[in-house]
Structure 1
Amino acid sequence: MIEKRIYRLLISVVLTIVLTAILVFSTSSESPNRILVMLGGTMPEGLIQSFTYFFFFFGGLEVLALLQRITHENDAFTAHLLPETENWVIGVDDVNQLKLNMQKLEHSQKFLLTDLIKKSCTKYRLSKSSSEVLGLVDAQIRIYNSEMESEQSFIRYTAWAIPSVGFIGTVLGIAASLGYANEASTPEGVAKVTNMLAVAFDTTLVALLLSIVLMYGIHYLQKKQDDLFAQMNSYLIENLINRFYK
């Protein structure tokens, strides 16, 4: 997990460097395009935008990685791990066989669902109580959810860092413009002040736009995560717990 995160971190650095280079080389020094300047096409003023791009790429890659994991976990439902035929009753011997089947499957690929089925089968063998198995399923799903939530800590950090870096750029831009206040009586001084103010507000604008896109990805990820665990709970209740032989 750590190695993959470092890999995504390096990819984010490379993407940031490539995008910054494209913007800088595309911006003409004589008559620069306003949009390219706003996106960070001039240096060193565009360094703030480069930092926001880095956090955006890293956060986006983290979101994509978790979405890919959720897609993998959803594949377990298409494997028909539990009997789905109507009126199928599961006895003690069937429970033992189900657990063995999950153990064999995990030699080739692991899912949260196979782990949950194994734990449910073990609990039923010990207690012979459907209600206790249901309690275990609910508790275990909460644990899975908490573990996946903890993996999103870097995503939440990037979502906070992007607008924060933009605001830092605004403060630096305003401070730089105030440094030219003594020259505001000349046309050249006015141009310097307005240029620095433009840089100040450009950094915030870019940061907020990137934050909007990343926040959409985060909320979409949360929805897919909630859907996964809701479906997992429903699948266990319908195809395992409700089929136990009383």
Structure 2
Amino acid sequence: MTIPASHRPAREWLLLVLALAVVGGAVVPLWHLAGGETREDFAAKWTPERLRALFLGPEQVLCYVAFVWAALILQSRYREVWRQRSAFGFGLLPDEEGARILPEDARPLARKVEHVTGRRPFILANMIRLGLGKYAISKSAPDVAEVVRSQADVETSRLVSTMGTVHYLAWAIPAIGFVGTVRGLAGAFGMAGVTDVGMADFTRQATDQLKIAFDCTLVALLLSLVLMYIVHTVQRAEETLVVDAQEYCQEHLLLRLYDPG
């Protein structure tokens, strides 16, 4: 069976490695020529205390909870996509060269689809079953094509609507980071009203509050970038699944229907 174009890998990871190699080959020499900080300077700046303050603030922990929750939802959806793809190997429709589907074959084929899938929910099987049911009644290939197309739209809408929790969490992560930013800025500006501390203590405490503000923003934005890429990957897999199911119906169902008209 010819592999559909949507099944072929786009070699995106290979292109990512190539992009990293090109950018790294240009940036690393320039970094050394510009006198970038040494390893000792980097170690002195990022002490364990500084790393703990960066990654273990209350807002950061909330961001981790939202990220892990969304990642678990997306993992289950990605596994469901692979379960759905197993239906393409069930042999739900005849694939012999020159095979035709007559109106009297529609209901037996629909019963075969239900038997093979064990009435488990499969997007491909549902499209085929509805299409065969319409063909058994109308005996019109254009009507079957309309049913398949409408069901594909329904499945796409259902996949989009059930992604609502993930989209909320993807929005909530930077929002939580912004809450930490506001808290840090408010603490820094609040130090301006303190008069019973020395300049050194004032500077140190204001700097600590500003670090809270920027640390929350940094962690939240990084998590949001990673999560949005995972969301994009899963959504693309789900959309490709529906498109491939339509293509399967086009090749093995619609083009094999016998239309007396």
TM-score with structure 2 setting the length: 0.77
Q: Measure, in 1, the Cα distance between the counterparts of 2:103 and 2:143.
A: 15
Aligned-residue identity in percent? 33
Q: Among 194, 204, 209, which residue is 1:196 paired with?
A: 209
Q: Measure, in 1, the Cα distance between the counterparts of 2:200 and 2:229.
A: 44
Which moved further from structure 2: 88-97 or 212-221?
Answer: 88-97
Match of 1:34 in 2: 50
Which moved further from structure 2: 120-129 or 184-193?
Answer: 184-193
Q: Measure, in 1, the Cα distance between the counterparts of 2:114 and 2:120.
A: 10
Match of 1:27 in 2: none
Q: Is 1:88 the equivalent of 2:124?
A: no
Match of 2:220 in 1: 207
Please list, as runs of the form range in 1=range in 2, the aligned pairs for 1:163-174 lying within 5 A after superposition: 163-174=174-185
Query: Aligned AA for 1:192?
Result: Q
* Deviations 1:7-39, CA, capped at 9 Å, x for gaps: xxxxxxxxxxxxxxxxxxxxxxxx743223211
Please list, as runs of the form range in 1=range in 2, the aligned pairs for 1:47-62 lying within 5 A after superposition: 47-62=58-73
Match of 1:229 in 2: 242
The higher-RCO structure (CA 8 Å, 6+ apart) is 2
Query: Aligned AA for 2:167?
Result: R
Which moved further from structure 2: 185-194 or 133-142?
Answer: 185-194
**Other structure's SS at 1:179 match:** helix
Q: Computing the radius of gyration over CA atoms, which structure comes out larger, 1 or 2?
A: 2
Match of 2:37 in 1: none
Deviation at 1:108, TM superposition (A): 6.0
Aligned residues: 211
Query: Aligned AA for 2:253?
Result: L
TM-score with structure 1 setting the length: 0.82
Q: Is 1:100 the equivalent of 2:111?
A: yes
Q: Is 1:157 the equivalent of 2:157?
A: no
Deviation at 1:106, TM superposition (A): 3.9
Please list, as runs of the form range in 1=range in 2, the aligned pairs for 1:56-75 lying within 5 A after superposition: 56-75=67-86
Which moved further from structure 2: 154-163 or 178-187?
Answer: 178-187
5+ residue gaps, structure 1, are: 1-30, 41-45
Match of 2:131 in 1: 120
Q: Measure, in 2, the Cα distance between the counterparts of 1:228 and 1:74.
A: 7
Query: Aligned AA for 2:208?
Result: N
Q: Is 1:216 the equivalent of 2:232?
A: no
Q: Measure, in 2, the Cα distance between the counterparts of 1:110 and 1:80.
A: 16
Q: Measure, in 1, the Cα distance between the counterparts of 2:250 and 2:48.
A: 63
Pairwise CA RMSD: 1.5
**Other structure's SS at 2:53 match:** helix
Query: Aligned AA for 1:48?
Result: E
- Runs of 4 or more above 6 Å deviation: none
Q: Measure, in 1, the Cα distance between the counterparts of 2:169 and 2:242.
A: 25
Deviation at 1:104, TM superposition (A): 1.6
Q: Measure, in 1, the Cα distance between the counterparts of 2:58 and 2:95.
A: 57
Deviation at 1:188, TM superposition (A): 1.3
Q: Measure, in 1, the Cα distance between the counterparts of 2:123 and 2:105.
A: 21
**Other structure's SS at 1:133 match:** helix
Q: Measure, in 2, the Cα distance between the counterparts of 1:185 and 1:139.
A: 72
